Amino acid sequence: MTGARRPHTGRRRNEAAREAILAAAAGLLAHGEVGISVDTIAAAAGVGKQTIYRWWPSKGAVLLEAAVAQAEIQAPVPDTGSLGQDLDVFLVATFRTVAANKSLLRNAMAEALRDDAAAKVLKEFAVSRRAALAEILERAQQRGVAIEDRDLTLDQAFGVLWYRILFEHDELDEQAAERLAAALARSAAG
């Protein structure tokens, strides 16, 4: 990765360097490494360490930004007209993405637990994901479906997700997503 010679951009920020850093970080995170060091990221990106610290406040912040950028789910919020189906589509897509980025997300959480700047990024990510699911519930309510406890429903969805990411005791496959969707539909619109 070091080989990619980037042209200097004079006194403007070098966007290519920024991308190389995030790419290198994402690569190391996804690879499941545990002790990722700044030197390693810098070397993998072919970048000086200072270039990292010029733009991010700490190692954790870089890793988190890389993780979030990587895990950013393309899954658009579905709108099938049925709460059950919306939940199912959303969760199946979410589980799929998460399963593909599991070690990255575990690493992200590990960083967030030690680094406030990283925690902030992870929380923003979580908030944006919650908003997507909240929209689905919101629409159902507007259609007249009674939702018992919206926040708790969101916690249950993402709680199960993160619990399985972190404890690895059970699968993160399509079937798991569908069962969770069904349970949430029962519980929310009890």
Interface residues with DNA (CB under 7 A)? 2, 6-14, 17-18, 20, 35-40, 46-51, 53-55, 58-59, 115
Contact assessment for residue 1 and residue 19, using Cβ atoms and an 8 Å cutoff:
no
**Smallest distance, Å, CB 146 to a copy of itself?**
12
Count of residues of this chain found to bind a copy of itself when the rule CB under 8 A is applied: 37
Q: Which long-range contacts (CB under 8 A, 24 or more apart) does 39-45 make?
A: 43/2, 44/1, 44/2, 45/1, 45/2, 45/17, 45/20, 45/21
From the centroid of its chain, how far is CA 137?
Answer: 21
Exactly one of 153, 173, 174, 177 binds a copy of itself (CB under 8 A); which one? 153
Q: Which residues contact 175 (CB under 8 A, 6 or more apart)?
A: none
Contact assessment for residue 70 and residue 26, using Cβ atoms and an 8 Å cutoff:
yes
Does residue 54 belong to the site contacting a copy of itself (CB under 8 A)? no
Does residue 166 belong to the site contacting a copy of itself (CB under 8 A)? yes
Contact assessment for residue 180 and residue 160, using Cβ atoms and an 8 Å cutoff:
yes
**Smallest distance, Å, CB 118 to DNA?**
10
Segment interacting with a copy of itself (CB under 8 A) among 14-22, 69-77, 83-91, 108-116: 108-116
Our CB check for a copy of itself shows the closer of 79 and 186 to be 186
Please name the amino acid found at residue 145.
V
Exactly one of 61, 106, 136, 177 binds a copy of itself (CB under 8 A); which one? 106
Give the whole-angstrom CA distance, residue 119 versus residue 53.
Answer: 17
Does residue 101 belong to the site contacting a copy of itself (CB under 8 A)? no
Residues that bind a copy of itself (CB under 8 A): 34-35, 106-107, 109-110, 113-114, 122-123, 126-127, 148-149, 151-153, 155-156, 158-164, 166-167, 169-170, 179-180, 183-184, 186-187, 190
